[in-house]
Every structure is written in C-alpha cells, then in structure tokens.
Amino acid sequence: MPPGSRESAPGVVLAAACTGVRGMIERGKHRLIIFDADGTLRRCTVSGQKCPNADDQWELLPNVKEKFLEIDREFAAFGIASNQAGVHYGYLSERMAYRLLEDMMIEITGCIPPPGTIQMCTHSPTAGCACRKPHPLMLQRLMRMLEVSPARTLFIGDMESDERAAGNAGCDFLWAHEFFSRELAGS
C-alpha cells in the first residue's frame, strides 16, 4: 500500500516479527500486539502537557517507525489501547482524540488502521469504568474482535497501569523502552 494511502491494509494485519526483544516476541506465539499511545508511540510537544489536544502537539518517539518497518505485516494483528481523559475534561473532542491516534498510526504505517483497532477510554481517571487501564476491557475488546487469545497477545506500554492492564487481561507485557530500544528517562 503506498505511503499516505487512506485505505486499510489488506488482510487487516500488521504484525510483529520482532524476534530477539528480550525473547518476548516469538514468531508463532504473539498473534496480537497492542500498543499504548502516549509515552509509548508518541509524546506531547507542549511543555507541561501529558497528551496532545491538537494536530501540532505531538511527535513520534524514537525508534517507533524503524521498529514498525521490521514488522512482518502477515504475522500478527495490532491494536491501540489508550486512556484519553482529556476528552472528559473538555480539552478535545472524542472525535479529535480518535483522529490524533489514527493520524499517529498513519504516520507510522502509511495506512489507516482497520476499524475497531483503536480503543480509547475517555472517562475521568476516577470514574471507575471497566475500560480505563489498569482495567482490561480495551485489551479484551481487541482480543475478542481480532479473535486472539490472551496467551497469544502482547501489550506494550510505558506505565504501571499498562503493565497491570496486561496482567488483568491475562496477556504478556513488555515495557516500551525495551521494545523500542530506548533509554529510560533519567538513565
């Protein structure tokens, strides 16, 4: 599919043939790789702001595009599971939050992510909803939709709530800095 295309990739699969990342990603084991967004794939460029609220407020983190170029697009599906509380607080609309995540994936892969592969929780951090990480609902929705068991799913994130969400969903977890071969802040 040509870069910049606005159509989904054939077969609705991206995938990870990223062998050797601490032995976590094994060809044939993980058929679904779910990524957190903020702090994992992108960062906000506005000082003091955790998440982007507009087009010009984000950039990809180091090694993201390069790692996705290593991905075997016929091996495993991918998804995004992202807490987007800025919607609840009125910083941006749900539509804008989704579009920013979609635009991020277009920049990374060159195509629109398949419908349903971006899951967002737009509730308040104190709402107690089942979808906000560390609760597992976003991960479970992706696994159910893509028909992949927890045992064959890997979640990549940067926060303790991501690690706990993976545990609550029964799937493997890998820290973003390990997957993308990045130094931890303050290291």
Checking if the pLDDT of 5 tops 50, the result is no
Burial annotation 15-36 (CB, 10 A radius, 16+ → b, else e)? bbebeebeebbeeeebbbbbbb
pLDDT digits (tens, 9 = 90+) for 97-111: 999 999 999 999 998
Please state, in angstroms and rounded to a whole number, the distance separating the CA atoms of residues 86 and 121.
Answer: 10
- The whole-number pLDDT of residue 9 equals 30
Checking if the pLDDT of 3 tops 80, the result is no
- The whole-number pLDDT of residue 70 equals 79
CATH architecture of the domain formed by 21-179: 3-Layer(aba) Sandwich (3.40)
- The whole-number pLDDT of residue 75 equals 74
- The whole-number pLDDT of residue 22 equals 32
Strands 77-83 and 153-157: unpaired
- The whole-number pLDDT of residue 28 equals 62
Of 4 and 164, more confident: 164
**Please, which contacts does 92-101 make with residues 24 or more away whose CB atoms are closer than 8 Å?**
92/53, 92/54, 94/120, 94/122, 96/53, 96/54, 97/122, 100/52, 100/54, 100/55, 100/58, 101/37
120: CB partners within 8 A, 6+ apart: 82, 83, 84, 87, 94, 97, 98, 101, 138
- The whole-number pLDDT of residue 111 equals 87
pLDDT digits (tens, 9 = 90+) for 6-55: 333 322 223 333 333 333 345 568 889 999 999 999 999 999 999 999 99
- The whole-number pLDDT of residue 18 equals 31
Q: Check if the beta carbon of residue 139 is closer than 8 Å to that of residue 170.
A: no
pLDDT digits (tens, 9 = 90+) for 108-156: 999 899 999 999 999 999 999 999 999 999 999 999 999 999 999 999 9
Please state, in angstroms and rounded to a whole number, the distance separating the CA atoms of residues 130 and 100.
Answer: 23
pLDDT digits (tens, 9 = 90+) for 64-80: 999 988 766 667 788 99
Of 149 and 3, more confident: 149
- The whole-number pLDDT of residue 17 equals 30
